Amino acid sequence: MPCASTSSSNGHHNLWKLIWHIPAPPKIKMFLWRLSNNAIATSLNLFNRKCAQSPVCQICFQERESTEHMLFRCSWTIPVWFACPLSLRPPSLDNYASVQSALMSKISLASKKIALGFLATFALTSWAIWKAKNANIFEDIPINPALTHKFKSSFFL
């Protein structure tokens, strides 16, 4: 039996309920919720709120930094996702208009247990990417996909 409907309001509600039950710290759950609602401080979101001079990604300088770019399309994130035990690869995620639609699609036909495992891994991987990106921009720490994957995996120990 599917655990989440793909109809928008009901599915949205179910997604929130599932996120709340993933085996991860509360800050990771909140981060995933904010990701799925495009409510994180990417360059594009800050620019749209007139809080940044430019919407361009400060890592690659190739595209506007949307939530989807920050997570999946910035080239350094690709090896992080490839090291991830999910059937999630950047090209397939590119087919979705938003993080929320990608998550809804991936969990809509899954059992609750599988959906929770998927969301937890997705959340921790996304969190590791977010932390590494910010450490590069604000602390000048070089981006390293291998270390980012290792950092993510440490949550499971």
Residues that bind Zn ion (CB under 5 A): 57, 59-60, 74
Least Cβ distance, residue 93 to Zn ion (angstroms): 15
- Phi and psi of 88, rounded to 5°? -120, 120
Taking the least distance from each CB to Zn ion, the nearer of 82 and 156 is: 82
The 8-class DSSP code of residue 87 comes to: S
Q: Is 19 exposed, middle or buried (0-12, 13-18, 19+ CB in 10 A)?
A: buried
**What residues contact 58, with CB distance under 8 A and at least 6 apart?**
43, 65, 137
DSSP bridge pairs for 56: 64
Least Cβ distance, residue 69 to Zn ion (angstroms): 6
Taking the least distance from each CB to Zn ion, the nearer of 59 and 88 is: 59
Least Cβ distance, residue 50 to Zn ion (angstroms): 21
